[in-house]
Structure 1
Amino acid sequence: MNGDAVELSPRFLNKHDQLYKNIEQVKPLEGYQDIVCHGDAYGFVIRNADGVETHLTLREFGEILQQTPGFEKGKPIRLMACEAGAGDGLPAQYIADLFGVEVLAPTDILIVAPDGTMKIGKNNDGVWKKFEPRRKFQ
């Protein structure tokens, strides 16, 4: 990641991204740590300051997260990544299994307003879905 990215935080956004600005207003969820990244139902995306996207496999993202200062291993996660909980919730379930913790993830696109309010889906018809670890990766 380049100097325009938030590198010392489990928030994988660049400072030119509107989500970077809006996410600062989101209220923490007691008992959870927020992991913020662009994503979809299959994986994660890091977008640099020029808008160039790097698609990461679940494994790549897990490895990056493990090495990220500020990430609290063993603490439940609110995974703020679009569609990470959609369908079978492949990204969310992978993270739950990898770290052996509960993960909350949106079932549709996550829209974060400038005041920090969030809705899931364009019509606010999505939900936060809970994923429990099924197995621990080694």
Structure 2
Amino acid sequence: MVEQHEVATGARHPPPESGGGWTPPDALRPLERLEPRLAAVYLESMRTDGGRAFYGEKDHRMRDAASAVRPLAGVYTADLHGTPGSFIVDGTTLDGRDLGRLIRADGEWRGRPIRLVSCETGRGEAPVAQDLADHLGVPVVAPTELVANKEDGSLILIKERRNSFGRIKQSVAQDGQWIRFLPR
């Protein structure tokens, strides 16, 4: 009977003594569902204590910083470069749907709310953080300013400006916020 089923459907069943570990041929792993450019981004990303960091393999400073971010209980942290309208990973521009697909591919996500450690992704009239919340169907918290982490792993929002000598000066963003975006 098993042989006839295999011939008719092409499905292969594990031998009874195998104890499992069998995956049906049509049950693709999440990474296999990603288009090639997103699969390349995912393969360069790295797991962190709170979620995943999406930085190129040569972006050592940011990968180290992401590893130091303190996780939040019950929250998935996505750490990556961002702007109010997009995410950027090693030269690849992503929208909320793209990042949503990458997060869904991570088996550690499990439908949890998202914290974006991604500069300015909560700023503006149509922030990319809202796009992500809409696509994943979960709340997303994102900063309105640049994000930096302190030595203890906590996060602060900062502003940058050029001084009279043309050098960039950083200061704590007194008006910066972490905004919560609910799916619409």
TM-score of the superposed pair, with normalisation by structure 2: 0.60
Distance (whole Å) between structure 2 residues aligned to residue 103 and residue 3 of structure 1: 20
Counterpart of 2:149? 112
Distance (whole Å) between structure 2 residues aligned to residue 2 and residue 32 of structure 1: 22
What is the SS of the residue equivalent to 1:116? coil
Distance (whole Å) between structure 2 residues aligned to residue 61 and residue 132 of structure 1: 16
C-alpha change, 1:60 and 1:36, in structure 2 (3 Å) is: same
After superposition, the C-alpha distances for 1:13-47 in whole angstroms (9 at most, x for unaligned) are 23432121012222112221101111110111111
Counterpart of 2:80? 37
Distance (whole Å) between structure 2 residues aligned to residue 61 and residue 106 of structure 1: 16
Distance (whole Å) between structure 2 residues aligned to residue 21 and residue 114 of structure 1: 12
State whether residues 42 and 54 of structure 2, in contact with CA within 8 Å, keep that contact through their aligned partners in structure 1: no
Counterpart of 2:58? 16
Counterpart of 1:5? 44
Question: Looking at both structures, which has the greater relative contact order when contacts are Cα pairs under 8 Å and sequence separation is at least 6?
Answer: 1
Code of the residue aligned with 1:44 in structure 2: it is F
Distance (whole Å) between structure 2 residues aligned to residue 3 and residue 23 of structure 1: 15
Structure 1: 5+ residue stretches without partners: 48-52
* Richer in helix (by share): 2
Deviation at 1:116, TM superposition (A): 2.2
Distance (whole Å) between structure 1 residues aligned to residue 183 and residue 42 of structure 2: 34
Matches within 5 A, 1:32-71: 32-47=75-90, 53-71=91-109
Code of the residue aligned with 2:72 in structure 1: it is L
What is the SS of the residue equivalent to 2:68? coil
Code of the residue aligned with 1:5 in structure 2: it is E
% of aligned pairs identical? 30
C-alpha change, 1:3 and 1:90, in structure 2 (3 Å) is: closer
Count the aligned residue pairs. 128
Code of the residue aligned with 2:83 in structure 1: it is D
Structure 2: 5+ residue stretches without partners: 1-39, 160-170
C-alpha change, 1:116 and 1:60, in structure 2 (3 Å) is: same
